[in-house]
Amino acid sequence: MKDSPNEKKKRRNKRKNELKNLRSQKEDEFEHIFLIQLPDRPEIVNREEPVNFETWNRFRLDDGRFRDVHLLKSLIFHGGLTKDLRSTAWKYLLNFYKWQNSDEENKRVKNEKTEEYYRMKLQWMTMSEEQVKHFGDFRDRRALIEKDVIRTDTFHPFFDRSKPQNLKLLKDILMTYVMYNFDLGYVQGMSDFLSPVLVLMENEVDAFWCFVGLMNRVHKNFEMDQLYIKQQLSNLKNLIEIVNPQLANYLESHDSDHMHFCFRWILVAFKREFSFDNIMHLWEVLWTDIPCKAFLLLFCVVILDQQVNMIIENKYGLTEILKHVNNLSMQIDLEETLRSAEAIYHQLAAVQDKLPRHICEILSFAYDDEEENKTI
């Protein structure tokens, strides 16, 4: 049953009163946290230089295995990778090669994966039209891929229609992924993840297995029930409530707190908001899972935090917010946003003992169950 307009108004007024509280309050021996008084946001002056081959090789042992992988990932988080190192490093970040494997072991994996790729590719390429005629799900996936391939990143020279061999590569990899993971198959938006990988690798097999590693990270984004995406949007809303309660209150009062205007950001990890070079940089930072796996959400928080005055002063409703957010495409300062997202993480980490359980879970902070029990 939906709330009546009167009930909605009461709920909003109640929330406004709650947001005035700058500390935990105890009522009837139960602790209710309405708003945390956050410390000043630390200043992250500069990000680091990109990791180059010289730095990369310092972490390599003689047999090709890597030591201090977390430290290496931390350097990648703080500076990204140089362009000439990307095609090598992404194979590790996307789990095609294993950090703990020697060069010989990774070479063996490459040979095995090459055979496996072409075996799967042959499965769909050798289907007769009679087979395809009786295989409706396959036909539907193929039709969707063919439709998406010709409109994927048409601005990029690699995918220019004058280079049909590259469009064929894109299609072949997506079709082979359908055979690799038929349950997921192909969903619109997956080509957005493949295109930068293919441009970088310029090799069909390497691009496919890196794409598999990437899809293992983001496949839940494309599940038909969209439960995972909805949970991510809910998590984003929860973070906004802590970091910028003024914006959270405004969004709720304008029936926009479902955060659907951020759907595209999360679905394809900002692929359509940045240039190819910048999206590669952002993705490799995110793939380190430093400082937490939810860093993408903090990145979203920063952008919304920067836009709060524009949204509120112009009294934007849902339609205007969506339009404004979409118009930010290619306008976002990547380095500044990364700095601010890291600063927000450290700001929240400084008071993690005061944060609600669900915020701690989102950001992978430790949560003291015993301390919580003392308040009950």
- Written as tens digits, the pLDDT of the chain (376 aa) is 455 666 655 555 544 444 444 333 333 333 343 468 899 999 887 899 999 999 999 999 999 999 999 999 999 999 999 999 999 999 999 999 999 999 999 999 999 999 999 999 999 999 999 999 999 999 999 999 999 999 999 999 999 888 899 999 999 999 999 999 999 999 999 999 999 999 999 899 999 999 999 999 999 999 999 999 999 999 999 999 999 999 999 999 999 999 999 999 999 999 999 999 999 999 999 999 999 999 999 999 999 999 999 999 999 999 999 999 999 999 999 999 999 999 999 999 999 999 999 999 999 998 876 555 444 4
Same domain, 215 and 234: no
d(CA 195, CA 214): 12
Residue 150 domain-assigned (yes or no): yes
Same domain, 74 and 210: no
Same domain, 168 and 117: yes
- Residue-level pLDDT at 3: 56
Same domain, 363 and 249: yes
Same domain, 67 and 111: no
Contact 273, 329 (CB under 8 A): yes
d(CA 280, CA 86): 9
- Residue-level pLDDT at 26: 33
Same domain, 241 and 269: yes
Same domain, 200 and 118: yes
Same domain, 234 and 328: yes
Residue 39 domain-assigned (yes or no): no
DSSP one-letter code for 39: P
Last residue of a domain, one of 186, 219, 252: 219
Domains held by the chain: number: 3
- Residue-level pLDDT at 108: 98
Last residue of a domain, one of 177, 199, 219: 219
The 3-state secondary structure of 177-208 reads HHHHCCCCCCCCCHHHHHHHHHHHHCCHHHHH
Query: Which CATH number characterizes residue 195's domain?
Result: 1.10.8.270
Structural domain span for residue 50: 44-93
H-type helices in the chain, by residue range? 5-19, 53-58, 69-79, 83-93, 103-125, 129-133, 136-149, 164-180, 190-201, 204-218, 227-243, 245-253, 263-267, 276-286, 295-313, 318-326, 334-349, 357-363, 369-374
Residue 194 domain-assigned (yes or no): yes
Same domain, 187 and 267: no
Residue 314 domain-assigned (yes or no): yes
DSSP one-letter code for 49: P
Same domain, 350 and 288: yes
